[in-house]
Amino acid sequence: MIETVATTPFDDQKPGTSGLRKKVTRFQVPHYAANFIQAIFDAAKPDGGETLVIGGDGRFFNREVILTAIRMAAANGYGRVVVGRSGLLSTPAASNLIRKRRAAGGIILSASHNPGGPDGDFGIKYNIANGGPAPEKITEAIYRHSLAMTEFRIIAQTAPDISKLGETRLGDMVVEVVDPVADYASLMETLFDFGAIRELLASGFRIRFDAMHAVTGPYAKDILENRLGAPAGTVINGEPLEDFGGGHPDPNAVHAKALIDELMVKGGPDFGAASDGDGDRNLIVGRGVVVSPSDSLAVLAANAHLAPGYAGGIAGIARSMPTSQAADRVAQKRGLGMFETPTGWKFFGNLLDAGKVTICGEESAGTGSDHVREKDGLWAVLLWLNILAVRRESVADILSAHWAEFGRNYYQRHDYEEIDKEAAEGLMESLRDRLASMAGQRFGTLVVSEADDFSYRDPVDNSISTGQGVRIVFSGGSRIVFRLSGTGTHGATLRVYIERYEPDAARHGEAPQRALAELIQTADAIGEITKRTGRTAPDVVT
């Protein structure tokens, strides 16, 4: 029996960079999650009988919302729901399932790299039939529906047990519980030379993968240990936990410090990697060297042809605007198309669907390809391993050779977290007000050549996205970019992205902090960061 439940709208359900992210406690407010799910269904408008994929990263509250979403899908006309066992699906695995099952879309429950547990964060994201995050016109429609919500539909029966594989019925809908790993692992086998990677690992090449007690544990164990023969114990923190073991599943220098430290010592593993809460981000570490995400994108694009799935070459590369221009140099030299999009994987979907690009990446530790429509942490790890298996050089040597060929884009991102929202908005506003007069201004040895607020016209559907970050470019090509994060759940996070190109190989050995020193000072001068936020240093530097 379908119940129609009267409700009242919430005014804070506007999806951000990647779906709706809030504190768990906000999602626990009665009807909060149900309202948003109904808004998704109202925007998606199933005709009847479609398939919907549902899964999440296993964080606290995952199971409750999944059971609600299943019951609501049955009341909103879906014919089949495909759900990962126990509600688990990594974001790239969900994207793959949506595509493989020709589903109308999917609901992914995750707050990505944000902390979990009862006091942590939660999130709901809608992906469309191509497997990718809903584009802005759909997220805006979801938001409009949420503001006008008066009732949601839910089936009265309880949802079936999702810890057991197989099919059951709920009203007129089939609930199919699937192994979360199997289809994804098979897809990886079609893209990479598992035989060559197995030989590399058998030759004594030692790897370590930190799953951070998040969703990738079962994927990494099956792929790295079972299928590729890495020794048991290669995957650490491999059991998904509702609170990520009290940790923060963000694979960066702060939260993956233990892994990085292990790789920095003589005699440590040859290769280390980590992924985030929902398995779409990656960290790549070689012995003695952390690979920055922007460099990783460039190296992967330049070497992808060494893996069977990309042996025919790649069509083009896309990166988000604040990501360093290292990949642009690869595109230029190899005669490939290059696209610069706003932050958010959703902006890559059209380019991938149109075949304009094969590889995409972002400075925020995301890389991926046209195999799915999400960034994919383990994919990046496997492509690196495939390249290492063919080249038989160390990560550090591959990186130096890359810089020698293309030049080095020194790069850092400075995050100022949980700052006062008004102060952050005032800082951005003031920058925007000064843009028109900035060209020609001198700061130390730096002269501004252009300054703008990035806006993007999608070359496929011509949709326009404005206000995507303030860019200040200096003669010589160095850049400072300011933008506010769209994924935080408390106050505002200011991100400052700093970049300088160095063509001279003799100068490629500097620490980024040093190589970028003048730009870092200039960022504070132009952005008035200390003056407006009271902060004298960033909370996280990546």
Binding site for ligand G16 (CB under 6 A): 17-18, 112-113, 276, 280-281, 320, 343-345, 362, 364, 366, 485-487, 495
Give the nearer residue to ligand G16 in terms of CB position, either 413 or 500: 413
Give the nearer residue to ligand G16 in terms of CB position, either 80 or 414: 414
Read off φ and ψ for residue 178, nearest 5 degrees. -115, 160
DSSP string spanning 69-83?
HHHHHHHTT-SEEEE
Give the nearer residue to ligand G16 in terms of CB position, either 51 or 91: 91
Q: How far is the CB of 364 from ligand G16 (least distance, A)?
A: 4
Integer-rounded Cα Rg, in Å, for the chain is 23
Own/partner contacts of 166-175, CB < 8 Å, gap of 24 or more, are 170/70, 170/71, 170/74, 171/1, 171/2, 171/74, 171/75, 172/74, 172/79, 173/73, 173/74, 173/78, 173/79, 173/80, 173/81, 174/79, 174/80, 174/81, 175/70, 175/80, 175/81, 175/83
Give the nearer residue to ligand G16 in terms of CB position, either 27 or 345: 345
Place of tokens 């030049």: 407
Buried-exposed string 18-39: b where 16+ CB fall within 10 A, e elsewhere: bbbbbbbebbeeebbbbbbbbb
Give the nearer residue to ligand G16 in terms of CB position, either 282 or 533: 282
Q: What angle do CA 171, 86, 5 make, to 5 degrees?
A: 40
β-pairing verdict for 408-419 and 366-369: unpaired
Give the nearer residue to ligand G16 in terms of CB position, either 326 or 398: 326
Q: How far is the CB of 10 from ligand G16 (least distance, A)?
A: 21
Q: How far is the CB of 253 from ligand G16 (least distance, A)?
A: 16
Place of tokens 């930190």: 210
Q: How far is the CB of 359 from ligand G16 (least distance, A)?
A: 15
112 is catalytic: yes
Q: How many CB atoms lie within 10 A of CB 166?
A: 11
Task: Compute the distance between CA of residue 353 and CA of residue 345 in angstroms, rounded to an integer.
Answer: 13
Of these residues, 110, 112, 320, 364, which one is catalytic? 112
Q: If residue 366 lies in a helix (H) or strand (E), which one and from where to where?
A: strand 366-369
Give which of 289, 326, 334, 513 is closest to 408, Cα–Cα: 326
Q: How far is the CB of 216 from ligand G16 (least distance, A)?
A: 13
Q: How far is the CB of 412 from ligand G16 (least distance, A)?
A: 15
Determine the distance from the C-alpha atom of residue 219 to the mean position of all C-alpha atoms in its chain, rounded to a whole number. Answer: 17
Q: Would you name the residues annotated as active-site residues?
A: 112
